[in-house]
Amino acid sequence: IQKANLNVLVDPNNGAGAIADPLLLDHLGVRYTILNGEPNGIFSHDSEPLEKNLSDTMNTMKNGDFDIGFVQDADADRLVILDETGRFIGEDYSLALSVDYVLSKAQNPKKVVVNLSTSKVIEYLTNKHHATLTYTKIGETNVTQGIKDHKATVGGEGNGGVIFPKVGWGRDSLVGIMLALSYLAESKQKVSEIVQSYPQYTLLREKCAVSNREEIATLLGKVREHYKNHPMNTEDGVKISFENAWIHIRPSNTEPIVRIFIESESSRQNQAYLQEVKQVCGV
């Protein structure tokens, strides 16, 4: 990494990363610029590291000479990556970059554990590296337990949460930064080139309010019946798998809502699946 002469932009959004990032990046010997680097907890933009909240950071990337951009959430356990043009590559693809690199270095048996709402790009990478893939219920603790149970090489959640058990048992953006920089330094590829080599999926997140728990059970029952001829996982709500798409419907652990996750190869296809699900559920 020190020899690669990488130029990095990092946005910890005035959170915990503002303390940790300089320690890591100085040690690695990279050139870097920190946006919103005062660790005062007064966020400069919404604390969710989503594309809609990062226009200023993305513009800084576009107007600078950076190789990669990193954005963290408030407690620095989630990481999202911007490519060298300032494009938001997506939370799942930020995880994918780390998983790809770790698997390329790992010895057999290679094992990956992610939650059920994680992109199919991880499935592509496990096939690419002849690894096994296990899905768990939503939640960091469930993924971590799955990693321990299966003695997995790497894992995480599609919200940009990398879990690398050689370092620790929780989501860790600093590990993600280290793995991404290692990938760039060794491959001498641009972020955009790496991501473009992956299948391109689009993820839709939706939610529907419900009045009680009994209503949730009824909705899930309708979904199971309608899609009974498709591969299905009922460990955490209902997840239906198609050749190049999936639908995951599950009750929220914290709110009186049902969450709907849909991933396919296009936004149009996602909307078509969403309308179908709403029709099936009567919402």
The pLDDT tens digits of the residues spanning 189-228 come to 999 999 999 999 999 999 888 888 778 889 999 999 999 9
Question: What is the Cα–Cα distance from 168 to 170, expressed in whole angstroms?
Answer: 6
Which of the four pLDDT bands, split at 50, 70 and 90, describes residue 256? confident
Q: Strand, helix or coil at 280?
A: helix
Give the pLDDT confidence score for residue 211 in this predicted structure: 84
Question: What is the Cα–Cα distance from 114 to 146, expressed in whole angstroms?
Answer: 8
Q: Where are the beta strands (DSSP E) in the chain?
A: 7-11, 31-34, 68-72, 79-82, 111-115, 132-136, 154-157, 161-163, 202-209, 232-233, 238-241, 246-251, 257-264
Distance of CA 64 to the CA centre of its chain: 25
- pTM score: 0.94
pLDDT at 283 over 80: no
| Cα radius of gyration rounded to whole Å, the chain | 19
Question: What is the Cα–Cα distance from 147 to 3, expressed in whole angstroms?
Answer: 33
Give the pLDDT confidence score for residue 215 in this predicted structure: 87
Write out the H or E segment, with its range, that includes residue 13.
none
Distance of CA 208 to the CA centre of its chain: 23
Are 244 and 250 in contact by the 8 Å Cβ rule? The answer is no
Mean pLDDT of 255-283: 93
Question: What is the Cα–Cα distance from 144 to 152, expressed in whole angstroms?
Answer: 10
How many residues comprise the chain? Answer: 283
User: What mean pLDDT is reported for the chain?
Assistant: 95
Give the pLDDT confidence score for residue 52 in this predicted structure: 94
CA dihedral 71, 73, 76, 79 (to 10 degrees): -40
Percent of the chain with pLDDT over 70: 100
Which of the four pLDDT bands, split at 50, 70 and 90, describes residue 274? very high
pLDDT digits (tens, 9 = 90+) for 138-191: 999 999 999 999 999 999 999 999 999 999 999 999 999 999 999 999 999 999
The first and second tokens of residue 7, run together, are 């130029």
Give the pLDDT confidence score for residue 252 in this predicted structure: 84
Q: Position of tokens 């990669």?
A: 68
Q: In this structure, which amino acid lies at residue 271?
A: Q
Angle in degrees, 0-180, between the axes of helices 173-187 and 17-28, rounded to the nearest 10: 30
List CB contacts of 248: < 8 A, sequence separation 6 or more: 116, 117, 237, 238, 239, 240, 260, 261, 262
pLDDT digits (tens, 9 = 90+) for 65-108: 999 999 999 999 999 999 999 999 999 999 999 999 999 999 99
